Chains A and B, each alone.
Chain A
Amino acid sequence: MVPNNGLAGRRRGGRRLASWVMTLVGYPLTALWTFLGIALFPVLFLAWKLVTRWPAGRIMRHFIWLYGRGWVALNAPFVRFRREGLEHLRLARPSILVVNHLSFFDTYCMALLPFHDVTFAVRAWPFRISFYGFFMRLAGYLDVENFGWEEVLKAGEQTLAAGGHLLFFPEGHRSRDGRLQRFYSGAFRLAVETGAPVIPLCISGTDTLLPPGQLRLEPATVTLRALPSVDPSTYPGPDGHRELMHRVKGIMAEFTQERIEK
Chain B
Amino acid sequence: MTDLEIIDLINTSLAEEFELDPAEMAPEANLYEDLGLDSLDTVDMVVVLEGAFHFKIREEESIREIRTLGDIHRFVIGKMRSAEKLSA
Contact = CB atoms under 8 A, between A and B. Distances in A.
Interface of A: 145, 149, 172, 182, 184-186, 189, 238-239, 242
10 contacts: A145-B38, A149-B39, A149-B40, A182-B19, A185-B40, A185-B41, A185-B44, A186-B40, A238-B47, A242-B44
Q: Which of B20, B44, B48 has the most C-beta atoms of chain A within 10 angstroms of its own C-beta?
A: B44
A80 to B, nearest CB: 33
Contacts of B19: 182
Interface residues of B, number: 13
B51 to A, nearest CB: 8
Describe A's contact surface by its main secondary structure: loop
Interface of B: 17-20, 36, 38-41, 44, 47-48, 51
A55 B42 CA distance: 36
Contact of B18 (A145, A182, A189, A238): A182
Contacts of B47: 238-239, 242
A218 to B, nearest CB: 29
Contact of A184 (B20, B40, B48): B40
A258 to B, nearest CB: 21
B17 A184 contact: no
